Structure 1
Amino acid sequence: METAHRVKALCGQVFRYGISTGRAERDPTPDLRGALRPNKTKHYAAITEPEDVAELLRAIDGYGGEPVTIAALKLAPLVFTRPGELRHAKWADIDLENATWSFVASKTDQPLIVPLPTQAVDILRDLHGLTGRSEFVFPGARSNKRPMSNVAMKAALDRMGFKGQMTVHGFRAMARTILAERLGYPENYIEQQLAHTVRDPNGRAYNRTQYLEQRREMLQSWANYLDGLRQKINY
């Protein structure tokens, strides 16, 4: 049903383009209003309790799967970008010397700079020896000319015993919840890092490079916090 709604929206875009360029007279998709059942809101499974997060992190550390998949799973909680953005990460966009990853956010189509904590830089430096000749940081298992499969990380989480408890998208909810409730970071820093559309009181969208230094400090503290959970330090 979700796919049907998406296809209907795409068809509407095509017809509206046709109208604007003289190729079509009308957009018939509004005639289908009510023909499709409404989409049900779907929440991605996410682990947000620190004790459970610690168990998840240790499971990832001990996972015996593909090295590229393991590296992606280790990086996902540190930067909590959208899964597709992580899978499509390119070495050309990553500056290990300055510890930044720059790309265009998929949902907002706006540039985003992700400051990389030292733990993320270490993961990427190690991975570069394995995938550095590919365009993609996380190339597919069958071809390094394509990014990894969109099911690779989910399948790994399922095999580790977290099916129904944790999704790759859930790393975003995990970070958002704990950063706000446990570490006390301002919502605008977190939302900026999540690449959500954040507006100031005058309705203007924030520049995606804003709060860069504040987010750098936040992500480093977050990475240190996760290390503490992994090592059973009481936070």
Structure 2
Amino acid sequence: MNSSQIKALVRAGEDVRKSVGDGLYFRVEQGTASWFVRYTYAGRRKTITLPEGYPICSLADAKIQAAAIRSKVKNGIDPQLERRRESGGLIHTVDDLFNDWFQRSVKSQVKHPGNDERVYRNHIKSRLGKYSIRDITPIDIRTALDELRKIGNKTTASRALSILKRMFNHGIKLNLVTSNPAIHFTGVDVGQNYEPRKRFLSLDEIRSAFTVFRDNQDIFTRDNYLAFLLLIHLGCRKTEITSSRWEQIDLENQTWFFPENKTSKPITVPIPDQLMPVIEELRVRCAGSQCVFPARRRSKRREYISDDTLNHALAKLFGQKVDSKKQPYPNVLGSAGVDYFTVQDLRRTYRTLLAQLKIPDNIAERCLNHELRGVLKVYNQHDYLEERREANTKVAELLEPLLHGGGNE
């Protein structure tokens, strides 16, 4: 074929595929003209499209590129594989790198992959996502982390840093970048305080806090109130409660099974009698959902409420700004004499109540699903279910007068 014939095919406007010779082909599809080369490598027929189509790439240029491809094949190089390596599987931007890392290293290997996806989408993507991974420097990382610190959510900033470190390590593994721009940043750079939190609620604060919860149901919904009752009675982790399904709860035996996750082993938690009305109410309120706390808005990501729902609900009562479009509410908890605390502090409060009730440490630690230490960890495999049932009953008896009967109101 010559240039005149190529032009005539383009003018005709019909889909066509013609051999030019020596493995080079000319193609017109839906009005777009392009070149491709067919070759045989390791006994397999393969096809590779030239980077530029006609007329940007002329017939003469296409023949030169086709000759270069044949030369590579002759020297044992697969042009198709070489191109994939050079492009990094089309991984160019931070968005591309995150998507590849998330699909291959997170989505199928982490119990709650949505946590990383949510933090990236909400806090990293808009700041770094569109930039080339080769252009990202430690200064860019620091700027992004500084912006997150200004929001005031240290936990989110810490997770964002963890994502960036793991994501760029993935890039190094694929030889897409030579260094990790986030590797030398630590918790100090996101405002983390390495002093362990010691905050727990006194009995008076428990009474005051739950009174505020009940009196402000226009801000703090009934579902939130019931979730907080579960947390302080059972000492479970927030996500264990909020992500639970009804199949995990045995109403007859009054137990709640929590499967293994990234922080703890499976455990069956005894439910005290005083908490059964809460369970029954949740059963009604879920309106047939398989989740104990079903999502309040239709979502493709999850069936149950967001990991931030309880955090935001509590923050509102402390007068903190959690919605950029709304003014914060008054600090009603502070006005009631309750110093600032977090959802996680309820777990520490539960453990403190166990100590006040003189529950032996080995039982108390099992109540929290903590592993025993030293020799006990190896030789003592007893689950302490009945002992833990007695402990949770004592906690419920202590809390009942403070909470006006728990969920019976």
Q: TM-score range by the shorter chain?
A: 0.7 to 0.9
Query: 2:375 is paired with a residue of what secondary structure?
Result: coil
Q: So what's the TM-score if we normalise by structure 1?
A: 0.77
Aligned 8 A contact 2:311 2:343 in 1: no
1:67 aligns with 2:222: yes
Aligned 8 A contact 1:80 1:194 in 2: yes
Matches within 5 A, 1:21-170: 23=174, 28-29=179-180, 32-33=183-184, 37=188, 39-41=192-194, 43=197, 45-47=199-201, 49-65=202-218, 66-143=221-298, 145-148=303-306, 149-155=309-315, 157-158=317-318, 161-162=332-333, 164-170=339-345
Shift of 1:162: 2.6
- 72-81 or 25-34: bigger deviation: 25-34
Pair 1:173–1:63, CA change in 2 (3 A): same
Query: 1:228 is paired with a residue of what secondary structure?
Result: coil
1:165 counterpart letter in structure 2: Y
Pair 1:119–1:27, CA change in 2 (3 A): farther
1:175 counterpart letter in structure 2: Y
Query: 1:110 is paired with a residue of what secondary structure?
Result: coil
- The residue aligned with 2:357 is 183
Pair 1:228–1:155, CA change in 2 (3 A): same
Aligned 8 A contact 1:131 1:138 in 2: yes
- The size of the alignment, in residue pairs, is 227
Query: 2:267 is paired with a residue of what secondary structure?
Result: strand
Deviations 1:30-49 (A, max 9, x none): 983367745323637531x2
Pair 1:206–1:91, CA change in 2 (3 A): farther
Q: Write the distance in 2 (CA, Å) between the matches of 1:12 and 1:205.
A: 38
Deviations 1:152-206 (A, max 9, x none): 54246436723652322111111111220x2111122222222223334255396
Pair 1:201–1:71, CA change in 2 (3 A): same
Q: Write the distance in 2 (CA, Å) between the matches of 1:4 and 1:187.
A: 34
1:215 aligns with 2:388: yes
Query: 2:400 is paired with a residue of what secondary structure?
Result: helix
Q: Write the distance in 1 (CA, Å) between the matches of 2:274 and 2:230.
A: 9
1:212 counterpart letter in structure 2: L
Pair 1:84–1:13, CA change in 2 (3 A): same
- The residue aligned with 2:132 is none
Shift of 1:130: 1.6
1:227 aligns with 2:400: yes
Query: 1:197 is paired with a residue of what secondary structure?
Result: coil
Pair 1:119–1:59, CA change in 2 (3 A): farther
Aligned 8 A contact 1:72 1:153 in 2: no
Q: Write the distance in 2 (CA, Å) between the matches of 1:89 and 1:4.
A: 26
Percent identity (aligned): 26
Q: Write the distance in 1 (CA, Å) between the matches of 2:170 and 2:292.
A: 35
Q: Write the distance in 1 (CA, Å) between the matches of 2:294 and 2:162.
A: 31
Gaps of 5+ in 2: 1-144, 146-153, 319-328, 405-409
- 2-11 or 75-84: bigger deviation: 2-11
Q: So what's the TM-score if we normalise by structure 2?
A: 0.47
Shift of 1:105: 5.0
Q: Write the distance in 1 (CA, Å) between the matches of 2:212 and 2:275.
A: 18
Aligned 8 A contact 1:80 1:175 in 2: yes
Q: Write the distance in 2 (CA, Å) between the matches of 1:206 and 1:89.
A: 28
Shift of 1:25: 10
Pair 1:116–1:36, CA change in 2 (3 A): closer
Pair 1:189–1:16, CA change in 2 (3 A): farther
Aligned 8 A contact 1:101 1:115 in 2: yes
Pair 1:136–1:23, CA change in 2 (3 A): same
Query: 1:128 is paired with a residue of what secondary structure?
Result: helix
Report the structure number with the largest CA radius of gyration: 2
